[in-house]
Amino acid sequence: MKVYKFGGASVKSAEAFRNIAHIVRTYGGKEQLLLVVSAMGKTTNALEQIFDLAYNQQNFESSYLQSITYHQEVLQELFPSKSHPVHERLEQLFLQLKYELQRISPGANYDKSYDQIVSFGEIFSSTILHYFLQEQALPNIWVDSRKYIQTDSNWREGRVDWNWTERLIKRDLPAVLEQQLVVTQGFLGGTTNGFTTTLGREGSDFSAAIFAYCLDATEMCIWKDVAGLLNADPKYFKDTVRYPEISYQETVEMAYYGASVIHPKTIKPLANKQIPLYVKSFLDPAAAGTKICDCRFEKLAPAYIIKEDQCLVSFSVKDFTFISEQSLGAIFNALSELRIKINLMQNSAISFSICTDFNQERIQRLIQTLHDQFVIYYNTGLRLFTIKNYDSDSLNNILAGKEVLLEQRTRNTFQIICR
Ligand SMILES: Nc1ncnc2c1ncn2[C@@H]1O[C@H](COP(=O)(O)OP(=O)(O)O)[C@@H](O)[C@H]1O
Ligand SMILES: N[C@@H](CC(=O)OP(=O)(O)O)C(=O)O
């Protein structure tokens, strides 16, 4: 069986839904197929904003209406007949979202409430895709991924209970797949007591890999708006090159350093079962794309990766004692408690620096926790540049005209933090 994942860009309009039907019909073949779908376009960002307003007891009505109208317009184009059951189903879901927003109580757990609301994006898109494929003579079953991908209650970044998840998926889905296509949601999981969790922003690639792993898929394909895995993000760089084939290891490192084309957690489950991952263009589905598998190449084109909106935090000891294992222990404990992820770190005799995604609230809490022991400074609005498999040309390209705050290099990887 195969797993296809369609991200936000591939369901952003009525035309995009039609294109999915074309891809499934033309390339899905006779094999069993499970489709994982993300929220339409930038719906998750919109829902985050709506949620934030509702949580802070502010008026969310106009933002809510804007998002609903976007969905209704796509629906109208795909299903012109008002009597089609999809309209009633979506209206129910829109009302359910509104009801959930209205009943958020002041002081409720922010992250838990976030998951209950922001998850609606994938419920909307997968429901539309389910009905649309039916219309297109592609019979399918809508499966609720919250009932299969089981996580703990680490809200907004649920940790998967692999044993339980695999058992549930293996119990039900092979029989369903023998009969029909399956349409399910990316990004979502569920707890044993019935709450929704999310797997971290852009986590739909990871959801697809979980299903692929548990179903022993023969391959997984993520359909994107780019020609495959490129050596840089074409939004920032001209003259990018596509890797026709690349190893799991290279890819996982690129994802770790911030190549946003693939969620970092996606590769491990696939590599563990040697399931090849294809990255293909939904705009040119016949083109080769990239195959990610267990392979090895001596010389790969340097890969350029940019992480925006970085924050460089420096901890200095208050007396002239050195940064010790004990002080590092205190810093790491606080980072772990506050779920602050380190993108790069460096230490000197009396100070220790980390680069992390900027989150004002968490940085303030970090300072509160550690200000007794350290003098803490931070710079924001920075970029982290990484070059994997660098050479002298690629270094010159990146360094030109930049104010560098911190630099680090190993034999294969070069990183700078700059303004
Ligand atoms: N190395 C890379 N190769 C290809 N695309 C990349 C790379 N790094 C970043 N990207 C960006 O990833 C985007 C596709 O990923 P994403 O937006 O997450 O897709 P979706 O949400 O539709 O699944 C591309 O439009 C491109 O700008
Ligand atoms: N919709 C979620 C999950 C996701 O993976 O989306 P996409 O496939 O569009 O990156 C998000 O935006 O975070």
Please tell me if the CB atom of residue 115 comes closer than 6 angstroms to any atom of ligand 2: no
Residue nearest to atom 18 of ligand 1 (CA): 261
The two tokens of residue 294 are: 């267990």
- Which domain, by its residues, includes 250? 2-293
Whether 298 is in a domain gets the answer no
Domain CATH number, residue 381: 3.30.2130.10
Query: The pTM is what?
Result: 0.94
Q: What is the distance in A from the centroid of ligand 2 to the CA of 38?
A: 5
Q: Name the residue of 13, 122, 226 to mutate for ligand 1: max ligand atoms within 8 A of Cβ.
A: 226
Query: Whose atoms come closest to the Cα of 251: which ligand?
Result: 1
Q: Report the pLDDT value the prediction gives residue 348, as an integer from 0 to 100.
A: 84
Whether residues 74 and 99 fall in one domain: yes
- Which of 266, 293, 320 is at the close of a domain? 293
Whether residues 6 and 150 fall in one domain: yes
| CA 379 – CA 405 distance, rounded (Å) | 10
In ligand 1, which atom is closest to the CA atom of 260? 9
- Segment (H or E) for 49: helix 43-55
Residue nearest to atom 11 of ligand 2 (CA): 202
Residue type, 208: A
Q: Report the pLDDT value the prediction gives residue 29, as an integer from 0 to 100.
A: 80
| CA 390 – CA 374 distance, rounded (Å) | 36
Whether residues 229 and 349 fall in one domain: no
Whether residues 285 and 313 fall in one domain: no
Q: What is the ipTM of this complex?
A: 0.98
Eight-class DSSP state of 279: E
Q: What is the distance in A from the centroid of ligand 2 to the CA of 201?
A: 6
Domain CATH number, residue 268: 3.40.1160.10
pLDDT one digit per residue (tens) for the chain, 419 residues:
999 999 999 999 999 999 999 999 999 888 999 999 999 999 999 999 999 999 999 999 999 999 999 999 999 999 999 999 999 999 999 999 999 999 999 899 999 999 999 999 999 999 999 999 999 999 999 999 999 999 999 999 999 999 999 999 999 999 999 999 999 999 999 999 999 999 999 999 999 999 999 999 999 999 999 999 999 999 999 999 999 999 999 999 999 999 999 999 999 999 999 999 999 999 999 999 999 999 988 889 999 999 999 999 999 988 777 778 888 999 999 999 999 999 999 988 888 999 999 999 999 999 999 999 999 999 999 999 999 999 999 999 888 888 999 999 999 999 999 99
Q: Report the pLDDT value the prediction gives residue 299, as an integer from 0 to 100.
A: 84
Pairing state between β 33-37 and 2-6: parallel
In ligand 2, which atom is closest to the CA atom of 9? 9
Q: What is the distance in A from the centroid of ligand 1 to the CA of 224?
A: 7
Whether residues 269 and 345 fall in one domain: no
Q: What is the distance in A from the centroid of ligand 2 to the CA of 240?
A: 24
Q: Report the pLDDT value the prediction gives residue 362, as an integer from 0 to 100.
A: 94
The two tokens of residue 22 are: 């074309």
Whether residues 154 and 257 fall in one domain: yes
In ligand 1, which atom is closest to the CA atom of 228? 4
Q: What is the distance in A from the centroid of ligand 1 to the CA of 12?
A: 15
Whether residues 289 and 338 fall in one domain: no
Query: Which residues sit with their C-beta closer than 6 Å to ligand 1?
Result: 7-10, 38, 202, 224-226, 229-230, 232-235, 259-261
Q: Report the pLDDT value the prediction gives residue 323, as an integer from 0 to 100.
A: 77
Would you state the torsion angle of the CA atoms of residues 143, 149, 151, 156, taken in this order, to the nearest 10 degrees?
-70
Whether residues 217 and 359 fall in one domain: no
- Which of 293, 312, 338 is at the close of a domain? 293
Taking a C-beta distance cutoff of 8 angstroms, is the pair 384, 355 a contact? yes
Of 126, 131, 130, 128, the C-alpha closest to 146 is: 126
Whether residues 311 and 278 fall in one domain: no
Domain count, the chain: 2
Q: How far is CA 371 from CA 158, 315, 374, in A?
A: 30, 9, 5
| CA 172 – CA 22 distance, rounded (Å) | 27
| CA 341 – CA 332 distance, rounded (Å) | 10
Helix (H, G, I), strand (E, B) or coil at 166: helix
The two tokens of residue 225 are: 């708006």
Query: Whose atoms come closest to the Cα of 115: which ligand?
Result: 2
Taking a C-beta distance cutoff of 8 angstroms, is the pair 2, 33 a contact? yes
Whether residues 242 and 320 fall in one domain: no
